[in-house]
Amino acid sequence: MKDCIFCKIICGEVPSMKVYEDEHTLVFMDIAGDVDGHMLAVPKKHIRSIFDCDAETLHHLMDAVKRVSDHCTEKGGCDGVNLLNASGESAGQSVPHFHIHIIPRKKGDGIDAWPHFAGAAHDIAETYEQIRVK
């Protein structure tokens, strides 16, 4: 897609530090500089979010995420990863091209990658009735 920064990275119009690439997926370094090893895995075709992603593309994307995660732990000196995704504006997605954040972790690194929620506004049973797949 013409105005999409990640599409520009995928086609090479905008430079990136490529970590892994195959026919369907690219994994590259996030420029945020917020945490060591922050990477983004993206499908090569322009897909906005999880909601628009077909099963095959999702499969390829997650295959690549696993490959890079395995590499981080086997050869990159890490022992864990956080995998994060925001799908939709309400979820905090800032770049509208589907991506999984990969954050390599080491025991005792002190990184707090887990969201701090303020506490549920509704009873669990009530929400369960609304969201469960019937």
Active site residues: 99
Classify 41 as helix, strand or coil.
strand
Binding to ligand 5GP in span 91-130, by CB under 6 A: 92-95
Question: From the CB of 28, what's the least distance to ligand 5GP, in Å?
Answer: 6
Tokens 């090893």, residue located:
37
Cα 14 to the center of its chain, rounded Å: 20
The interface partner of residue 93, options being ligand 5GP, Zn ion, none and the CB cut-off 5 to 8 Å by kind, is ligand 5GP
Rounded CA gap, 64 and 69, in Å? 8
48 contributes a contact to Zn ion by CB under 5 A: no
Question: From the CB of 126, what's the least distance to ligand 5GP, in Å?
Answer: 29
Using an 8 Å Cβ cutoff, are 8 and 26 in contact?
no
Question: From the CB of 101, what's the least distance to ligand 5GP, in Å?
Answer: 6
